[in-house]
Structure 1
Amino acid sequence: MAFEPPERLVRALAETSDDGDAAWRERLPGLVEEALGACGAAPERVHAPGGRSSVVVLVRLADDVPAVLKLAPPSAAPQAEALALERWEGWGACRLLDRPAPGALLLERLRPDVSLRSLAQAKALLEAADTLRKLWVEPPAENGLPTVAERTAAQAATLEAAPGMYRPLVDAALAARTALLAGPPEELLLHGAYGQGKVLAGDRAPWLAVGPSPVTGERAYDLARLGLDRVEDLVGADTGGSTSRRRLSRLADSLDVDRERLHAWTVFRAVYGGVAALRRGQRAMGEALLEYAGWL
């Protein structure tokens, strides 16, 4: 197979200053061949546009079973994803079939082009909440996963360095994080990056989660990311503010999550996401997230 990494991944790797990721990018064609050989898989095609933190190759195993070979750089912590998938054992998430090489995961093949984003918003949120509920379990015994406090510490440092024009929102986000971490009520396994685009159609179950960036902590942190989905549509609507607040309330009630904690984590994740997007040059998304945070 003539291998070319997806352009989205190439751009994302170019934005990072991580030397390990740069070295991984240079070695990627050889890493793909090594992993294919280790699991005895025949490649079909590279999934595009793919994500910003991994390359996904659609493959066939020796018994003609379709599967997915996923390779990620060191910064994406593929070993953490493997821990989470092993803990879920296919319950609410795709199955991990093998770890054929360092940084490589052999996964159950879902329908990579059909996510919850293909559904109407109300139906998508209902299905997303039902799937997310299944993922909230006790962390794996071999728990080398970061906590929410650890994950958000670097994000808080980024916010501290944000330009002064965003200071009111940044200060509100940082204050919310401090208050939330003063007494975290839960220590569960969380997806960490859950959104409608991370839930794909499957055969053994209608919808299954993929692409976790797992952490341990409280459910409100995980649910906050789902509350940010399709934020560009909300910002473009005349009733975006009231719709956003109602959406969070419905999500909290449907999953028995504290409304105030969900609201606070959503503010933090929206402000951090907005500042990070602006730093990457994604002005429209950054401004949409910050406007959303302002409504809350």
Structure 2
Amino acid sequence: MKPLRRAGGTFPDPLPENVVRTVGALDGGPAWLESLPETLAGAQDAWKLVLDAPFEGGSCSWAGPARTDSAEHAVLKVSFPHREARGEAEALRFWDGAGAVRLLRASEDGFALLLEECRPGGTLRDSPGEPDELLAAGLHVLAWLWRRPPEPGLDLESLEAVTADWAGLVEKRHPRLRPGADPYLVRTAVGLLRSLPRTAERSVVLHGDINPGNILAAERAPWLAIDPKPMVGDPGYDVWPLIMQIDSPMRLVDPRPALRSRFAAAAEILGEPADRLAAWSAARAVESAFDRYNIGSYPAGDAELAQAQLLADVAGL
């Protein structure tokens, strides 16, 4: 295979270790990793790009700087084909830069994307500032993404279908993986995963993973979102990663006052009831805990189950 053109050398560089570890453990992952240099070469030739070494981080995709034949800076992203990545091109095309990076080109299957580059590109997570200020900045990005209502024919999964699948998985995993988990908390989360999407007062195009590492400093807006895992449905689903990851309220002796304050701020900015946002967060934390148990990560799962209990208290469940 001919080497890939890049600034200062040729590809392939070693892949980020986390991508190799994560994708390599998935069905079809080793074959995808083996074919990745050819996939990158195809995108490079089709879109006339010069590539540079991939970014660190990520788990299921190769992403790195690219320069077009007109000397414009961009980012090439090639994802392992999986459910969460299937709608990324569709959502970015729908938003058209309103709160998220712009989609410049996409492969026919939607898993290879040429994206607007964010400069300076630092993440909200790594930005200096008080947690409340950073949280507000992230929430305003989320409000921007939700501003335009979904259109008929938008090819994105419904939140209701996805969370119904998750509810079934939690029910199956509870007795097998963590039978000692609080049955009331688990039953409540399962019920919420099924009922909350059906009782939403409005539907939006959800980002799906709006954590502070997926919000970047940009030039045409203070902050833009990247790496969506989009669906269509209840906006309350989206806030959990921002609330919990902007810093770590779990370090406090009693995190509940800080969490109530954050949900109140989110309710004011987003126009959604604070208790509903907290209920969604509790349900998502339980689902995530059992997903971690399923891959053998029991300490992380237990931490998220403890988080879910606090969130349930804040929601008044």
Tell whether the structures are fold-level matches, with TM greater than 0.5. Answer: yes
Return closer, same or farther for 1:234/1:77 CA change in 2, 3 Å cut-off. Answer: closer
Match of 2:18 among 8, 16, 24: 8
Query: Is the partner of 2:76 in helix, strand or coil?
Result: strand
Residue 187 of structure 1 corresponds to: 203
Aligned AA (2:284): R
Distance (Å, rounded) in 2 between the aligned partners of 1:227 and 1:286 = 18
Tell which structure's C-alpha radius of gyration is larger: 2
Cα distance in 2, alignment partners of residues 6 and 76 from structure 1 = 22
Q: Mind listing any 5+ residue stretches in structure 2 that lack a counterpart? A: 1-9, 312-317
Question: 4+ residue runs of structure 1 moved beyond 4 angstroms?
Answer: 76-79
Which residue, 46, 58, 61 being the options, matches 2:65?
58
Task: Name 1:97's counterpart in structure 2.
Answer: 104
User: In structure 2, what residue type is equivalent to 1:53?
Assistant: C
- 1: distance between equivalents of 2:202 and 2:31? 38
Percent identity of equivalent pairs: 31
Counterpart in 1 of 2:150?
Answer: 139
* 2:48 is the counterpart of 1:30: no
By how many angstroms is 1:24 displaced? 2.0
CA gap of 1:85–1:39, structure 2 versus 1, over 3 A, is same
Which amino acid counterpart does residue 70 of structure 2 have in structure 1?
A: D
- Which residue, 280, 287, 291 being the options, matches 2:306? 291
Secondary structure at the counterpart of residue 155 of structure 2 = coil
CA contact (8 A) 1:39 1:100 kept: no
C-alpha distance in 2, partners of 1:41/1:293?
45
Contact 2:203 2:233 in 1 (8 A): yes
Which amino acid in structure 1 is aligned with residue 249 of structure 2? L
Task: Tell me by how many angstroms 1:283 deviates.
Answer: 4.2
Aligned to 1:129: 139
CA–CA distance in structure 1, aligned partners of residues 229 and 86 of structure 2: 10
1:43 aligns with 2:59: no
Q: CA deviation at 1:255?
A: 1.2
Q: 1:84, 1:140 within 8 Å by CA — same for their partners in 2?
A: no
Q: Which residue of 2 aligns with 1:217?
A: 233
Aligned to 1:28, the other structure's residue is in SS state helix
What is the Cα deviation at residue 11 of structure 1? 1.5
Distance 2:217 2:142 in 1: 14
Query: Is 278-287 or 62-71 further displaced after alignment?
Result: 278-287
Quote the RMSD (CA, aligned, Å): 2.0
1:65 is displaced (CA, Å) by 1.2
Distance 1:157 1:111 in 2: 42
Structure-1 residue corresponding to 2:194? 178
Per-residue Cα deviation, 1:28-75 (whole angstroms, up to 9, x for no partner)? 111111111111000121111x21121102111112211100001210
1:276 deviates by 1.6
Q: Distance in 2 between matches of 1:77 and 1:164?
A: 28
> In 1, Cα distance between the equivalents of 2:40 and 2:108?
9
**Is the CA contact 1:248–1:262 (under 8 Å) kept in the aligned structure 2?**
yes
